[in-house]
A and B are shown apart, each in its own frame.
Chain A
Amino acid sequence: MANAGIHQIASQTVPVNASKHRTEREIVYCRVIVLIGSVILAHALSWEWLRYYTSELVRHVVLVRNLQLVRISPDTLAWGTEHFCYVTSCTFIDVFLGCLPLMWDLHAGVPRNAACISATAIGLLCLNITRLTAALALYRFGIAWWFADGVCGGIAYFAAWMALWRASAFGREVRGAFFVKV
């Protein structure tokens, strides 16, 4: 009853569409604030186990392409005299934790959200291993490491963004709040 009363008052003072867009904008701002917090949290932790497993996956994948990477420390692989250190951003954990507040659907239940998060985790893992392997392959062909790693990283970030934009609650809210005229 109380909610109905508030809705009546709101609908009398401002148009329904404008109210809806304002609420969506507020939700978007909240999501962005939580996103920033998540990324800071991701980089505040060391994620040693994840760095190890990421590098181990890369090592096994490149082995298929006849590239022998030797483990010299839990987060470092060597190819000849070149050493490759896998830091936090190599694990894509910052991207994954940043995605969580953006993709959580407020209108869906916990099981559906959990399923979406699991699918996102698997998708990001595949995307991350692909871009790390591609960077190594480009480097092997003689391209400078900063460029090879940068290009693959930039494209992977953009691909993650596009997937988020098209499929997540955040994308729908931004499209509704900012790109549709009231």
Chain B
Amino acid sequence: MYAPALAEYLGKQLLQGTLTVFKRYLTIVATCLASSLVLAQCIPIPNTGTLLNPSPNAGRCQVEADGSFCYLAGKDQSIPTGKCETQGRPGNWNCTCNMAGQPAPYFVLNPGFLANDMHTPGIMSGGIGLLAVNGFSGNVTVSCLVSGPIPAEVHPSCTLTPTAVTVGSIGGFTNLSVPIANLPLGNYTVQLSASSDDGTTDLTSMPLVISPPKPKESGGGIAAFLIFVILIAAWLLERKWRMLASTR
């Protein structure tokens, strides 16, 4: 008689206990996740200063064993233009890269998109901009390297015109072209590197995807049908006009 009531009581207890354990476990997991996210922010934290258009490797707070340094455009900018604020202790540095004083002039490579050249079949080309930041000016030498596709690693040729760019207040521009006529299909990477006379550098990469072109179908299609209908209509009108003219 009491058996069903006892079973119901035990079932409720079991369910409650399971929920409690699950909640505790969830709390532990959430805490661990939050902690790991906070810790993951230690390396590297982008600068929080007055940088304009920073490239991915510009104004980066680089954590080393003996502290941290503020790197910008391939150079250590900690003194006098940059400052790394370091918190924590060795092995667990937390840093921010605040730029102070006179901002360092540098340039940033700004690649566009590679597209089929309208005038020359078999060539993909695109413009590469060089942005002058903080009043940078000078001569910049640009180079490129194409690699891929994985796993058959090849290095097809690429051309930059010009390779020596004079970057002024409005920046600079060069044109990248890659002959793709004889390349196997796949995903390639174009690595661009640039260095100025004063040692400022920048690196960036852009994807180059060579996919089979959508073939053009011969045979007319809708346009041919429409033109055929127009011609038939004109012919019928001409016949009707001629018949009317003959009856008058």
Contacts and interface: CB of A to CB of B under 8 A. Distances in A.
A154 B121 contact: no
Interface string B195-229: 00000000000000000111111111111111110
Contacts of A79: 121
B154 interface: no
Nearest to B214: A83
Given A81-B122, A158-B228, A158-B232, A150 B218 contact: no
B216 A158 contact: no
A157 B121 contact: no
B165 interface: no
B164 interface: no
B215 to A, nearest CB: 4
Contacts of A146: 221, 223
B225 A154 contact: yes
Contacts of B231: 154-155, 158
A153 B219 contact: yes
A152 B230 CA distance: 14
A154 B224 contact: yes
Given A82-B213, A87-B217, A87-B218, A150 B122 contact: no
Contact of A157 (B212, B216, B218, B220): B220
Contacts of A132: 218
Interface residues of A, number: 30
Contact of B180 (A81, A135, A147, A155): A81
A85 B223 contact: no
A59 to B, nearest CB: 12
B197 to A, nearest CB: 39
A153 B217 contact: no
A147 B219 contact: no
B116 interface: yes
Contact of A76 (B215, B219, B226): B215
19 contacts: A81-B121, A82-B216, A84-B217, A86-B218, A89-B221, A90-B219, A145-B216, A146-B223, A149-B216, A150-B227, A151-B223, A153-B220, A154-B228, A157-B220, A157-B225, A157-B228, A158-B232, A161-B228, A161-B232
Interface of A: 76, 79-90, 132, 135, 145-147, 149-158, 161-162
